[in-house]
Structure 1
Amino acid sequence: MAFQCQRDCYMKEFVTTVVSCCPAELKQEVNGKKETLKGFNVKLQDTVLFPEGGGQPDDHGLIGDVPVLRVTRQGPDALHFVSSRLDEGQEVHVKVDWERRFDHMQQHSGQHLITALADTFFGYKTTSWELGRQRSTIELDTPSVKPGQLQALEEAVNEKIRAHVPVTVQLLSIDDPAVEKVRSRGLPEDHAGPIRIIDIEGIDANMCCGTHVSNLSHLQVIKLLGTEKGKKNKTNLIFLAGNRVLKYAEKSYSTERSLVSLLKTGPDEHVEAVDKLQKSVKLLQKTNLTLLRDMAVLIAQNFKNDPQRGNFFSLHKKEGDNEFMNIIANEINTEETLVFLTVGEEKGPGLFVLAGPSGPVAEMGPRVLEILQGKGAGKNGRYQGKANSLARRGEVEALLQQHCKHRTSEEE
């Protein structure tokens, strides 16, 4: 059976009946964290919400005033995940998120067109494709696509768009001889009902379950952004279709204006300006590194020349790195002195080094690590690592000073 969304891809609202509503869970990622939502899987008599399939993501929308968070296919049925229970037999009004749907229609039909012409022009077969959130990718069975071929392909697909080529849907029985002439990567194991064919008149006939435009003119425009090296000697072709091209142009212009303001140059000079800026930054970083090294040596020498120095030295510096700390530790005689050094934000993350006699370092290192909530390891009189928080640095200092006093009194 074909769903209403497949029979009429442009229908935005639909009235149908709830067939079943069963408890279910939905695993999803929110702000980088995986969460499991409890809710219900709802089967409807029919639906205008497309369940994911054919490389196309699912639709979003509403059943009544209840948001549909996910739509998946289960054999001949579509399962709509919602957070609230719906009554079986209840008549409901289903509404699709049209902006998302039409975007998917444009990208999917665009993929069919690009795939067909890449095969016709160059013999490059499509082995897979991905409809991404911002851009889409077609995997072509070729190790490379030449710039001239990319330009010719882009010109050809946009020429077909300008020609207002119709796109029609056919439903064929699985034993229809015409099915054998259709481009396809095979049917899913649980397929049921007729075979759905997307026919771009005179260009391509492809077995597909997805939602598509009814005319190539509805794609507006296609932009081939470029290619990347794919897996197993294949090439990934990156493209935008329709409204995504307009959004890309708007975003690019906004970025351009921001760069004009920051770099104080026109758009044509941005690359040169950034190149100069990067070279200047590298030179400053090199100079800064040299100064830090010299400073580290001076800090160690000042301590060694201090007649009142004890057997404990501690220093925190916001700017610095592991090399800066290790230079200081190397310059000070750590066989006699316990050295505790940190770099980074005073109450934020940073780096630390504990150096000194191997016994005290081995004994105190794990305790320092615990207080600083860090990760690290040590051997041969040196314990160092990353600190998640330097807020308790003073507590470490007090602990180490107490340890040094205790050790001095024992020696006396």
Structure 2
Amino acid sequence: MAFWCQRDSYAREFTTTVVSCCPAELQTEGSNGKKEVLSGFQVVLEDTVLFPEGGGQPDDRGTINDISVLRVTRRGEQADHFTQTPLDPGSQVLVRVDWERRFDHMQQHSGQHLITAVADHLFKLKTTSWELGRFRSAIELDTPSMTAEQVAAIEQSVNEKIRDRLPVNVRELSLDDPEVEQVSGRGLPDDHAGPIRVVNIEGVDSNMCCGTHVSNLSDLQVIKILGTEKGKKNRTNLIFLSGNRVLKWMERSHGTEKALTALLKCGAEDHVEAVKKLQNSTKILQKNNLNLLRDLAVHIAHSLRNSPDWGGVVILHRKEGDSEFMNIIANEIGSEETLLFLTVGDEKGGGLFLLAGPPASVETLGPRVAEVLEGKGAGKKGRFQGKATKMSRRMEAQALLQDYISTQSAKE
């Protein structure tokens, strides 16, 4: 059975009847990136204008009587619509599709068919899989590499065919139709039911596919191939944009170009050179800064070593610094008789810490200091260092160390 969305990819709404509505759960990704399980209902309709995922194409979004449909999946000859509001079986409902999402998927999917056919025709490059991503799509080609000339030739050819306004039509064939053997495709899913859909780009390609497609290549507007990336199993991924995605990409690129022009105080043609100069200047400044920090660390180490307060627990905190800065101080002091507690970072935020001194004491106190600072760390041979998330609790860590030294002194 072909759904209404497959028979008419341009249909934006459709009236149908609810067949069943059963409690269900949907695993989804929340705004914080963590998996969430939503409780709701699996709704089956007599027919649907919402495409269930398949053929590399994601599922549609839309509404049933203004109730949001959060997922559409195919199960044999029926489509399951997940909603968080129940619908009465037997009731008539109006189904609407999120047209912007649907048309975008149509442009990318038909674009993939066109690129796949042209790559095969021009260079015998076979498509092994493809991915319709949120921002860009990728076609996996069975070749270890592609030349820039091949990529340019494919891009030129597909856009010529778009300008030729070639028709795209869909036919349905029965499984026992001899013509099925002549149609390209990567096989049918195990639970496939009903006739086989064949998407035909006039004079270019004929391919089995369950997805939604444009009716004419002119609806693709334009295809931009962004380049290639190394794929799995010695294959190459061809990255592309089709239709409205090209316009959005150009808009973003133009916005970035304008922002860089304002920041770098030069025209777009000089951006790369200007950034290179900034990178070189930054490297020199970082090197000079590192040398100064090293000199400062040595000076601080000598000052601490010669301080009248030397002994017991020696404490130092600086807002600026890094692990190397703290280790230089510890190396310069080089004492295993005194506990050295060094911290760097914002006192109201996170930072780094280092505890050095008698190995047995450091081994005991290191994890406890990390716990107080709500951080993590590791150590060996009289050193324990790590990251802290609550540098504001530094005084508590100092008190812990001083109590330990006092207890040890009392025992002696």
TM-score (norm 2): 0.98
User: 1:102 deviation in Å?
Assistant: 0.3
Amino acid across the alignment from 1:404? I
Amino acid across the alignment from 1:29? E
Deviation string for 1:6-51 (max 9, x for gaps)?
0000000000000001111111112311111111110000000000
Match of 1:255 in 2: 256
Match of 1:226 in 2: 227
Deviation string for 1:34-80 (max 9, x for gaps)?
11111111000000000000000000000011100000000000000
Match of 1:236 in 2: 237
User: 1:404 deviation in Å?
Assistant: 2.4
Match of 2:151 in 1: 150
User: 1:192 deviation in Å?
Assistant: 0.6
Match of 2:30 in 1: 30
Matches within 5 A, 1:230-309: 230-309=231-310
User: 1:333 deviation in Å?
Assistant: 4.2
* Larger CA deviation: 301-310 vs 323-332: 301-310
User: 1:257 deviation in Å?
Assistant: 0.4
- Tell me the distance in 2 between the aligned counterparts of 1:330 and 1:201: 75
Match of 1:65 in 2: 66
User: 1:402 deviation in Å?
Assistant: 2.6
The 3 A distance-change label for structure 1 pair 207 and 357 is: same
Match of 2:198 in 1: 197
Match of 2:87 in 1: 86
Amino acid across the alignment from 2:102? R
Matched, 1:6 2:6: yes
Deviation string for 1:189-219 (max 9, x for gaps)?
1111111000101110100000000000010
The secondary structure found in structure 1 opposite 2:321 is coil
The secondary structure found in structure 2 opposite 1:224 is strand
Match of 2:392 in 1: 391
User: 1:334 deviation in Å?
Assistant: 2.6
Deviation string for 1:352-381 (max 9, x for gaps)?
111111232222222112101121222222
User: 1:393 deviation in Å?
Assistant: 0.6
Amino acid across the alignment from 1:15? T
- Tell me the distance in 2 between the aligned counterparts of 1:359 and 1:169: 77
Amino acid across the alignment from 1:11? A
Match of 1:39 in 2: 40
Amino acid across the alignment from 1:62? T
- Tell me the distance in 2 between the aligned counterparts of 1:55 and 1:203: 21
The secondary structure found in structure 1 opposite 2:324 is helix
Kindly, what percent of the aligned residue pairs are identical?
Answer: 67
Deviation string for 1:222-245 (max 9, x for gaps)?
001101111111110000000000
Match of 1:312 in 2: 313
Amino acid across the alignment from 1:334? S
- Tell me the distance in 1 between the aligned counterparts of 2:196 and 2:334: 81
- Tell me the distance in 1 between the aligned counterparts of 2:310 and 2:188: 80
* Larger CA deviation: 402-411 vs 275-284: 402-411
Unpaired runs of 5+ residues, structure 2, are none
Amino acid across the alignment from 1:292? L
The secondary structure found in structure 1 opposite 2:252 is helix
CA RMSD of aligned residues (A): 1.1
The secondary structure found in structure 2 opposite 1:297 is helix
Unpaired runs of 5+ residues, structure 1, are none
Match of 2:210 in 1: 209
- Tell me the distance in 2 between the aligned counterparts of 1:409 and 1:41: 71
- Tell me the distance in 1 between the aligned counterparts of 2:178 and 2:139: 29
The secondary structure found in structure 2 opposite 1:102 is helix
Match of 1:15 in 2: 15
Amino acid across the alignment from 2:259? S
- Tell me the distance in 2 between the aligned counterparts of 1:360 and 1:189: 65
Amino acid across the alignment from 1:25? E
The secondary structure found in structure 2 opposite 1:391 is helix
Matched, 1:342 2:343: yes
- Tell me the distance in 1 between the aligned counterparts of 2:331 and 2:406: 23
The 3 A distance-change label for structure 1 pair 2 and 302 is: same
* Larger CA deviation: 281-290 vs 358-367: 358-367
Deviation string for 1:64-115 (max 9, x for gaps)?
1110000000000000000111111111000000000000000000000000
Matched, 1:185 2:186: yes
- Tell me the distance in 2 between the aligned counterparts of 1:4 and 1:300: 77
* Larger CA deviation: 133-142 vs 391-400: 391-400
The 3 A distance-change label for structure 1 pair 396 and 157 is: same
Match of 2:107 in 1: 106
TM-score (norm 1): 0.98
Moved runs in structure 1, 4+ residues, more than 4 A? none
The secondary structure found in structure 1 opposite 2:392 is coil
* Larger CA deviation: 306-315 vs 130-139: 306-315
User: 1:410 deviation in Å?
Assistant: 4.1
* Larger CA deviation: 10-19 vs 226-235: 226-235
The secondary structure found in structure 2 opposite 1:270 is helix
